[in-house]
Structure 1
Amino acid sequence: MSKINLDEIDSLHYDVLKELGNIGAGNATTALSQLLNMKLDMKVPKVDLVGFDKLASSICDEEELVVAIYLMLEGDIEGSMMFMVEKKAATCLVNQLMGRPVHDDRDFDEMDLSALQEIGNIITGAYLSSLSTLTRLTIAASIPYMSIDMAAAILSVPAIEFGKIGDKALLIETQFGDEVLINGYFILIPELASYDKILASLGL
């Protein structure tokens, strides 16, 4: 039986989860900055516990096309994680990586999709690395799966997968960029027992 109740989480535990979200997003932005070889500014992330039924609408219009990288977590922390950006933001990222004009609105070709996959791998890897370092817990991630679809369709996957153990996800919304600010969303869905391990590792 988990000691944490996400419906009645106290302010101390909530602040800790928010700080983990902040640090993870910062680490991911630094990794992306190195990949793109440019300085990226990042606004302080917004972190919230959101019900699965409100996830899509908390991010964008449910019919908005988005690019998502989804992976399963194993080891000391079990669950899943997703990184999501709107398709037009993903196009800006790929254009910057490929040295094209930022607002070049072309369709993704095979090389672009490969670049997007790599961006997703690096961002999620950096996020999980910082979480592992902070908590001193082992986190193994599956091979990431990338999807381009409407927000509601993509977010139905973790809702179905983890609706059995809980109904909330940790949503970390961050803005980063240089000439163009991009909204990126990390969605972390640990199993309830993993929340206990995370808080215990921090002495709570």
Structure 2
Amino acid sequence: MELFNHDPDFKMDVLREVGNIGAGHAATALSRLLDKPVDMAVPTVNFVPFEMIADRVGGSEEVVIAIFLRVDGECPGNMFFLMSKPQASRLLLVLLGFEAAESDKYSEMELSALCEIGNILAGSYLSSLADLTGLSMSPSVPSIAVDMAGAILSYGLLQFGTMGDDALLIDTTFLKGEQEAEGHFFFIPDPQSFERMFVSLGVPIE
């Protein structure tokens, strides 16, 4: 199938397809894991500058739950799944029926569950991106942290080295009846990785 197209919206259309396919894979994987249906809203997909990532979760001093991992292969980069603490508690309730503890501390079981959810999301979005581009991409074992958003991103820079200037943002919402929980999924390709990705998709690079 020929993907070359000079429509300026074509690039975003392709990336929205990554989000849609990835969300479908994630819902299926989580349904199997939990042995019950999991509903996800159609994700919204955007580009954001790296320095704006923390603003999407309330600012650099906002305490968040973060699942992060390194992507190796032909399109290397870094992945973060960030949630505010209220949204993380709501996610545990929506997906697992866990009532959040009144204290600010999460149990090992809750952190493990959040890490696995983030891992499934990362794997699903990464798989859809790899399938569409034909590029090999393999995730590292994920880590989870509870800290200020700015500190987590700074740690990511120290851990993984220089990151690209832009991030692919996929806003992800889980649904259960009238309840919903949302998180922000960021893929930050290394410098040159975005160009490699879009060339593989047949999107002209200006």
TM-score by length of 1: 0.79
2:73 equivalent in structure 1: 75
Paired amino acid for 1:91: S
Q: 1:4-19 alignment to 2 at 5 Å?
A: 10-19=8-17
2:166 pairs, out of 165, 168, 176, with: 168
1:32 corresponds to: 30
Counterparts of 1:1-204 in structure 2 under 5 Å?
Answer: 10-95=8-93, 99-101=97-99, 105=102, 107-158=105-156, 164=162, 166-179=164-177, 180-204=179-203
Map of 1:4 onto structure 2: none
Q: Tell me the alpha carbon deviations over residues 104-161 of structure 1, each in whole angstroms, 9 at most, x when there is no partner.
A: 5453222222222222222212221222222222111112111111223223344667
CA shift in 2, pair 1:18/1:96, >3 Å? closer
Matched pairs, number: 195
Query: Contact 1:25 / 1:172 at 8 angstroms: preserved in 2?
Result: no
2: CA distance, partners of 1:58 / 1:144: 21
Q: What SS does structure 1 have at the residue aligned with 2:118?
A: helix
**Alignment partners' CA distance in 1, 2:17 and 2:57:** 20
Cα offset, 1:29, TM superposition:
3.3
Structure 1 residue identity aligned to 2:175? G
| Deviation at residue 97 of structure 1 after TM alignment | 5.6
Q: State the shift of 1:188 in Å.
A: 0.5
* Greater mean deviation of Cα atoms: 184-193 or 104-113: 104-113
128-137 vs 155-164, which moves further: 155-164
* Residues 1:118 and 1:162: Cα distance change in structure 2 (over 3 Å): closer
Give 2:196's aligned amino acid.
Answer: K
Q: 2: CA distance between counterparts of 1:164 and 1:61? A: 21
CA-CA distance at 1:86 after TM superposition: 1.7
Query: 1:47: how far off?
Result: 1.4
Judge which range, 74-83 or 190-199, deviates more.
190-199
> How many angstroms does 1:95 deviate by?
4.4
Shift of 1:83: 1.2
SS at match of 1:133: helix
Amino acid at match of 1:127: Y
Q: Percent identity?
A: 45
CA shift, 1:67, in A, is 1.0
> Could you say what the CA RMSD is over the residues aligned between the two structures, in angstroms?
2.8
Structure 2 unaligned residues grouped into runs of 5+: 1-7
SS of the aligned residue for 1:112 comes to helix
User: What's the counterpart of residue 3 of structure 1?
Assistant: none
Matches of 2:163 and 2:109 in 1, distance apart?
38
- SS of residue in 2 equivalent to 1:118: helix
